[in-house]
Structure 1
Amino acid sequence: MKEITIYLFLLFAGVITAQTGSGEYSIKNVDENTENSDFGASFYGEKMIVFASPKKGVSLVNEVWEENGQRFLELYSANITDNGELYNVRSLKGDVNTKYHEADATFSKDGKTVYFTRNNYYNKKLAKDKNQWNNLAMFKATVNENGEWVNIIPMPFNNVSYSVGHPALSPDGRTLYFISDMPGSLGKTDIYKVSIEEGGYGEPVNLGDKINSPSKEFSPYIDGDVIYFSSDRPGGFGKLDVYASKTDGSVFEPVLLNQPINSNADDFTFIINPNTRTGFFSSNRSGGKGDDDIYSFIEIKPVEFKCAQMITGIVRDKNTNMVINDANIILKDVEGNPIENLTVNNDGTFELHVLCETPYTIVGEKSGYNPQSKTFTTSNEAGKITKLTVLLGTGEIVENEIKPEGLPKELPEEIVKVRPSTYVVNIEPIYFELNSSYLTKEAKRELDKVVDLMNRYPNMIIESGSHTDSRGIEGYNLWLSDRRAKSTVNYIVNKGIDPTRITGKGYGESQLVNQCSDGVKCTEAEHAKNRRTEFVIIKM
């Protein structure tokens, strides 16, 4: 009788023509790989990983998985050398490993909790659906004083009718990511997230079509606000390929990682140390030692996310206001060259992806109507969605204003509109000294105004967006701006504001307010205008 296991997530479509990607890496096949399957590395502290491999030792007939003739998988731990090799491989202690498959684990930062994938086997019972099919399930365990993993608990959203597995924790340990083919999935397997609460877990939430596709999404890993995952969607280098996106939804299309991370085979379970920028991934590419091998890598150049926005719109008849469902929308560059030409949906709607800080012309046309066009330049806000209405006839294209929830029609003097659909607290800019996240006395006086405003509007939610000038290394600027954002948020929270009402995000040098980009000579005063923090109103 056939069983669904970890490997059944690895049944893929044919090879796709190679495409260019992002990031630069050096890789090597680790010496500890065997002739069998070794894959699915996860960090267990700074100097260890845990991975899956067939059981070792004396083999019994009923321990062999018929699908590949190898023994069932177990979880093993190994120490990491400074050059990315593994040593001291040993089976994970305790009750985690059983006679069925275990793989794909993630550990809490304190090393006391593990979430892992297993055949749906619990209390010595193998759960099967109505067709006698065994799916995957996810479990939690804790470690005792002897280093043994005990107290195995199934996740409350496990189900005999579908699979749940491949867990990954957010850096703060409050969100658990996983994959599933549960009802409501957009593709064959989707990535979901669920909040970890004191009393248990929230409801699983699908990450949506900015991450998931009609294909298979696989093996998520969270690195700050970046999510890495594998997918066999069209457009990759081969079968499963590693992609990256942002957890905040600001990236509309996942970014494909470059070779040699990706190949014409299956590449998956990508993990990276946020401090050393080294990590591991798995692949069954040619030239390896076994079915699946673990590779270590060094990140030379990080994956690049181009600042992108979305334009959504609807086409209507100017005179009747009726929806026009067979109109054409043409997007042109600054020289008038067509970039995209599409026919609107049956409900008259359309959707376009555009780059930030780029001039475009959008044209709406239909036989029997006068063409209408609008020329505009996108802002520097990553993830912004602009809504347009195209009125055909003698009409025009107009932008729909999106206001924060609860924003009054008459703005209080403490709130000002700085650009379409963006409202901020009206204070003097929070400037920082070069290479510093230290709050000056002047900055604290301005932050006290934010605290006062939030006390007067108890439902107000804001984002503290911190920015640097263009001097310095881009990655360093992003790190510095994140520190500055956290510095302002911590000050406001320490003044008694509920931390759920304010978030902080560092944008680095990605949203300059003037021409002072790399290589442009500017005065110190001009650079200073870019070292700022803005408080954007999310909700009133």
Structure 2
Amino acid sequence: MKHSVKFILVILFLIHGLTYAQERLIEKGNEKFEAYSFSPAIDIYKKVLDKGYVSADLLRKLGNSYYYNADYKDAADTYKKLVAEYTEEVSAEDYFKYAQTLKTLGDYDTSSSIMTKFKEITKGDGRANAFTEERDFMKEIKENSDRYNFGTFEYNSPYSDFAPSFFKEGLIFSSDRDTGNFAKYRHTWNAKDFLDLYEVNADSSSLNSVKKLGENVNTRFHESTSVVTKDGQTLYFTRNNSEKKRTVKDEKGIVRLKILRAKLNDEGVWGEVEELPFNNDSYSVANPALSPDEKTLYFVSDMPGTVGASDLFMVSINDDGTFGQPENLGPNINTEARETFPYITNEEILYFSSDGHPGLGGLDVFATKIKRQDFTGKILNVGQPVNSNSDDFTFIFNEESRTGYVASNREGGLGYDDIYSFTETRSLEFDCIQKVTGTVRDKITNEVLVGATIKVINENNDELFSTITDSDGNYSLELDCNKGNFVRALMEGYIPFEEYIGVSDGKPKIIDFYLERDQITAGFGDDLAKLLQLSTIYFDFNKYNIRKDSEVEIEKVIAAMEKYPSLKLKVNSHTDSRGPAAYNLSLSQKRAESTINYMIKKGISADRLVSEGFGETKLLNECSDIVKCSAEKHDVNRRSEFIILE
């Protein structure tokens, strides 16, 4: 009996020891995982699995370790086991990463079904909303594909080469070729790989032309992702957080990333580097890019306020070299996943990599048109061959030469990551809507023209659509600002006029049209006052001097006579029936003469003007001496006419 008890105690002790050993092993693996040391974490988790211990948390962390280490096949197998055996414990992020790995492996149908489950358990997630929008993303990706002639980069090594940036006649890029350490952690924030920055003249054919940047830039730590100002004098780049030749870890034991800046000195060497003020020991700031005017720095961070694993931010660069406050680019660009590696072209197209927007798998390159720092435009996947079912990133592009470079860890490369060159043969087409508004008026009278037709005509002279002006003479259009169009204003009795609007950045535009009268429609005997839509020219009671309000209307007549030098007019003046007929006849004559005298003083030749007063002899309504009428009806008869003689 004593021996039995002793045996049982030994067994219990061994079981406890094994359990304790497994727990310590898992704890060690979790430490590596939390520090983003995914390769050691994978080795430890696999040992635990081999010993027969399995849990949802273990499978999740193992799958994530494979995922962040770009080992998508093993990640997919692990997530599959997690989803099958621990259905109740599967999170939304587990489903999303599983769907991403399946896309990377080319299994788009299964990926779509997993994304459906992802949507079912999420609310308001931008990735789920994008997945369910009424857009066929695979069709869009196919339409955007085959726009690039792909080539090789002859300076690739058997190790990791990525992050090209334009510099002088060549490139600066990142590589671990001198350390022989595969850079598998470049998409995370630990950056334990020891990368350096290299310079190469892209026109050279010799690998000997690849040179390290100076010792002020390259250290024993990690340097990566750079951008240089157009004058070649200022370099922004990414480095490990370090101090006094030692890495600095945050409270979780993670070595974060920071952006630094260096200036080229008189000897052509990069001088002492300085940290940017928005770096922080508690989060990473990396992957710098500059706006075309170099007044804004774009970068990637997981700082507070980040939507996903990493977001794109921007910060203003002041004239004195200081910086403003970082701003998140917003939810249209940033998803709950990873957005990283920004690049902005001279035409203000933002390219970046993401695994949150619908793509082919892994990180894909996306593009969006920036409009005055408005980041709400359509996000386009640039398609194959730039994108693949692997990680595609650090895209740069010269719009003048239509050439560029991109890095990828796709199969068939020389190293773990390789840089590829390309030439663009067909440009991306962004949805770009430009609002055009304005008013249509008579050129001489400045009166608004109600019901004028506004036509939009393309460069092939095809009418696209039309509208008419409202009761205030206003119109509003929305044009495709990726294409040039003519906006034409037409009105019966007027000469049509049009204005060309070329390809633009979509900034709202105001076009006011001032149409001229068609001379053919005005002839002998016509009343110019009606043609010009003049208001009634009033005189004060028992007076014939020109009132200020009437001067405005007569000035319109003068403008017409100045424009048409051959125009001759007869000014007819009329009164209402109130008062003696003889007196009204005399008063009307004086008013007609007063009108032409005013015009003569304004420079109109007297031989172009004739006047006549008709008194109350040509009433326009029934308001004669014996008829009682309202003041408004009498006003209709008190008028001046400008009858065309020639």
Q: Shorter-chain TM-score: which interval?
A: 0.5 to 0.7
Tell me what 2:315 maps to: 194
Tell me what 1:106 maps to: 227
Q: Which aligned pairs between 1:40-55 and structure 2 lie closer than 5 A? A: 40-45=163-168, 47-55=169-177
Would you say 1:470 and 2:459 are equivalent positions?
yes
Contact between 2:335 and 2:357, CA under 8 Å: does it hold in 1? no
Tell me what 2:438 maps to: 418
| Unpaired stretches in structure 1, ≥5 consecutive residues | 309-379, 383-416, 429-466, 473-505, 516-524
Q: Which aligned pairs between 1:237-316 and structure 2 lie closer than 5 A? A: 237-248=360-371, 249=374, 251-307=376-432
Tell me what 1:150 maps to: 271
Kindly provide the CA deviation profile for residues 205-264 of structure 1, in whole angstroms up to 9, marking residues without a partner as x: 111112111110010000021100010025201110000002223653310001001001
For the structure 1 residues 468 and 148, does the alpha-carbon distance in structure 2 shift closer, same or farther, using more than 3 Å as the test?
Answer: farther
Counterparts of 2:503 and 2:238, CA distance in 1 = 45
Q: Which aligned pairs between 1:144-223 and structure 2 lie closer than 5 A? A: 144-197=265-318, 198=320, 200-223=322-345
For the structure 1 residues 214 and 165, does the alpha-carbon distance in structure 2 shift closer, same or farther, using more than 3 Å as the test?
Answer: same
Question: What is the letter of the counterpart of residue 267 of structure 1?
Answer: D
User: For 1:201, what is the secondary structure of its paired residue?
Assistant: coil
What is the aligned residue count? 342
Contact between 2:312 and 2:329, CA under 8 Å: does it hold in 1? yes
Q: Among residues 195, 201, 213, which one is paired with 1:92 in the alignment?
A: 213
Counterparts of 1:512 and 1:241, CA distance in 2 = 38
Q: CA deviation at 1:155?
A: 1.1
Q: Which aligned pairs between 1:277-426 and structure 2 lie closer than 5 A? A: 277-307=402-432, 380-381=434-435, 418=438
Would you say 1:38 and 2:161 are equivalent positions?
yes
Q: Among residues 194, 198, 205, which one is paired with 1:76 in the alignment?
A: 198
User: For 2:292, what is the secondary structure of its paired residue?
Assistant: coil
Larger Rg: 2
For the structure 1 residues 270 and 528, does the alpha-carbon distance in structure 2 shift closer, same or farther, using more than 3 Å as the test?
Answer: same
Kindly provide the CA deviation profile for residues 337-383 of structure 1, in whole angstroms up to 9, marking residues without a partner as x: xxxxxxxxxxxxxxxxxxxxxxxxxxxxxxxxxxxxxxxxxxx549x
Would you say 1:14 and 2:135 are equivalent positions?
no
Q: CA deviation at 1:131?
A: 1.6
Question: What is the letter of the counterpart of residue 269 of structure 1?
Answer: T
Question: What is the letter of the counterpart of residue 20 of structure 1?
Answer: E
Question: What is the letter of the counterpart of residue 170 of structure 2?
Answer: M
Q: CA deviation at 1:471?
A: 6.2
Question: What is the letter of the counterpart of residue 459 of structure 2?
Answer: S
Contact between 2:183 and 2:195, CA under 8 Å: does it hold in 1? no
Counterparts of 2:268 and 2:167, CA distance in 1 = 13
Q: CA deviation at 1:170?
A: 0.9
Q: CA deviation at 1:66?
A: 9.5
Counterparts of 1:381 and 1:256, CA distance in 2 = 26
User: For 2:209, what is the secondary structure of its paired residue?
Assistant: strand
Question: What is the letter of the counterpart of residue 380 of structure 2?
Answer: V
Q: CA deviation at 1:306?
A: 2.2
Contact between 2:148 and 2:423, CA under 8 Å: does it hold in 1? yes
Kindly provide the CA deviation profile for residues 260-305 of structure 1, in whole angstroms up to 9, marking residues without a partner as x: 0100100011101121010100000111111000000000001110
Q: Which aligned pairs between 1:499-514 and structure 2 lie closer than 5 A? A: 507=481, 509=483, 513=487
For the structure 1 residues 55 and 87, does the alpha-carbon distance in structure 2 shift closer, same or farther, using more than 3 Å as the test?
Answer: closer
Tell me what 2:622 maps to: none
Counterparts of 1:153 and 1:234, CA distance in 2 = 34
User: For 2:389, what is the secondary structure of its paired residue?
Assistant: coil
| Unpaired stretches in structure 2, ≥5 consecutive residues | 1-30, 40-64, 71-96, 109-137, 444-455, 462-479, 490-495, 511-646
Question: What is the letter of the counterpart of residue 423 of structure 2?
Answer: I
Counterparts of 1:418 and 1:66, CA distance in 2 = 57
Counterparts of 1:305 and 1:92, CA distance in 2 = 38
Contact between 2:238 and 2:259, CA under 8 Å: does it hold in 1? yes
Counterparts of 2:293 and 2:36, CA distance in 1 = 32
Kindly provide the CA deviation profile for residues 141-167 of structure 1, in whole angstroms up to 9, marking residues without a partner as x: 111122221221111111111110000
Kindly provide the CA deviation profile for residues 121-148 of structure 1, in whole angstroms up to 9, marking residues without a partner as x: 2442422111221111111111112222
Counterparts of 2:292 and 2:208, CA distance in 1 = 26
Question: What is the letter of the counterpart of residue 483 of structure 2?
Answer: E
For the structure 1 residues 470 and 155, does the alpha-carbon distance in structure 2 shift closer, same or farther, using more than 3 Å as the test?
Answer: same
Kindly provide the CA deviation profile for residues 102-129 of structure 1, in whole angstroms up to 9, marking residues without a partner as x: 1100001111100001111244242211
Kindly provide the CA deviation profile for residues 303-343 of structure 1, in whole angstroms up to 9, marking residues without a partner as x: 110236xxxxxxxxxxxxxxxxxxxxxxxxxxxxxxxxxxx
Would you say 1:29 and 2:3 are equivalent positions?
no
Q: CA deviation at 1:199?
A: 5.2
Q: Greater helix percent: which structure?
A: 2
Contact between 2:487 and 2:498, CA under 8 Å: does it hold in 1? no
Counterparts of 1:39 and 1:257, CA distance in 2 = 19
User: For 1:20, what is the secondary structure of its paired residue?
Assistant: helix
Contact between 1:5 and 1:135, CA under 8 Å: does it hold in 2? no
User: For 2:155, what is the secondary structure of its paired residue?
Assistant: coil
Kindly provide the CA deviation profile for residues 179-221 of structure 1, in whole angstroms up to 9, marking residues without a partner as x: 0011101111100000001151000011111211111001000
Q: Among residues 322, 346, 351, which one is paired with 1:228 in the alignment?
A: 351
Counterparts of 1:6 and 1:202, CA distance in 2 = 36
- Percent identity of paired positions between Structure 1 and Structure 2: 37
Contact between 2:192 and 2:222, CA under 8 Å: does it hold in 1? no
Counterparts of 2:458 and 2:497, CA distance in 1 = 9
For the structure 1 residues 265 and 55, does the alpha-carbon distance in structure 2 shift closer, same or farther, using more than 3 Å as the test?
Answer: closer
Kindly provide the CA deviation profile for residues 390-446 of structure 1, in whole angstroms up to 9, marking residues without a partner as x: xxxxxxxxxxxxxxxxxxxxxxxxxxx639xxxx9x999xxxxxxxxxxxxxxxxxx
For the structure 1 residues 124 and 289, does the alpha-carbon distance in structure 2 shift closer, same or farther, using more than 3 Å as the test?
Answer: same
Counterparts of 2:164 and 2:363, CA distance in 1 = 16
